[in-house]
Amino acid sequence: MLDLISGAHSPAQLCRQHQLNPQMLSRWKGEFLERAPLLFEQDEVKSEEQERIAELERLVGRLSMQLDIAKKASTILSSQSSRNGRW
């Protein structure tokens, strides 16, 4: 199909080479040209999904760091309270 689209081969050459009916080749070309943009749309969707995944991974990283800090603060405060007899 790319040979036909790029002009590397004529429709007649491709029909002879692959024993195809010219109407069938024409139909395939039309369908290919009609649907080719869908390939790029899927890439855009994947790109948007990848960006969302990266954003969520950054959020998870920040939340993990905050949780670690909160745990350390809790440990420190617990040990200080027990030393002061307030526990």
C-beta neighbour count of 20 within 10 angstroms: 14
DSSP designation for 68: H
* Cα–Cα distance for residue pair 57/70, rounded to 1 Å: 20
SS3 of the chain: helix, strand, coil, percent, to 5? 85, 0, 15
**Structure confidence by residue, pLDDT tens digits, 65-76:** 999 999 999 999
Task: Name the one residue in this structure whose structure tokens are 């954003």.
Answer: 55
**Structure confidence by residue, pLDDT tens digits, 43-66:** 777 888 899 999 999 999 999 999
